[in-house]
Structure 1
């Protein structure tokens, strides 16, 4: 019997930092398979995130079975589920295994992401339909 689960990680694929992070993070094989979902693509998972009132521009979302984790909680949970193989995954674990440190670091990383998108001329996803004064 196979007890592995499918985990879905929803993030902005057009953000190079987000894309690299999501492609490098490895989930332990006994946990399940990590599926990457581009938040710019419509679908049931984006409908679910939007219905919760979560602004995908303010945080990635990890879905594990029926439980959703947003922003710093998502990156914290990813660190706990990740393998410890390779330098990146060990560093990811040590940085984000603490919920307190994750809550402190995540807003800084989000600000750097927003700056990077602005420099690259990319628009926000705007899944909540926020007015233009909430854009860059």
Structure 2
């Protein structure tokens, strides 16, 4: 994580770089230009932000993480906040907006997405990240 060249309002999305759905989501999500820049952080690679997430006791395998304006959002709260910061350009971002724009929608649909991720990881033989088991 390189804070030297980024704005305090930039958005940091921590995702699973080996999960097909996570990679697709992070590739297509767009935030509004007025918000700042979206930085993608692969949770399978060591980083300062992943260390911060782990120290906070957040299991990256159980929820995505978004950092914005000094706050960390986790799971359904992360996808809801990211949706609020996103532009509605393109079909993917429009669908994302209508599904996750409310906390209620995020609370309902995020667990479904998480279960789909778990099934995909199992089908493709991809191991969990297990960031909390790597605390030393």
TM-score, normalising length: structure 2: 0.90
Q: What is the CA-CA distance between 1:43 and the residue it aligns to?
A: 1.4
Structure 1 unmatched ranges of 5 or more: 131-136
> Quick check: 1:95–1:102 contact (8 Å CA) kept in 2?
yes
Looking at structure 2, the residues matched to 21 and 43 of structure 1 have their Cα atoms a distance apart, in angstroms, of: 20
Show structure 1 runs of 4+ deviating over 2 A: none
Q: CA RMSD in A?
A: 1.4
Per the alignment, residue 34 of structure 2 pairs with 30
Corresponding residue number in structure 2 for 1:59: 63
1:134 matched residue in structure 2: none
Select which of 93, 100, 114 maps to 2:118.
114
Counterpart residue number, 1:12: 16
Tell me, which stretches of 5 or more residues in structure 2 are unaligned? 1-6
Q: TM-score, normalised by structure 1?
A: 0.90
Indicate which of 38, 50, 53 corresponds to 1:46.
Answer: 50
Partners of 1:115 and 1:78 in 2: how far apart? Answer: 24
Query: 1:69 maps to which residue?
Result: 73
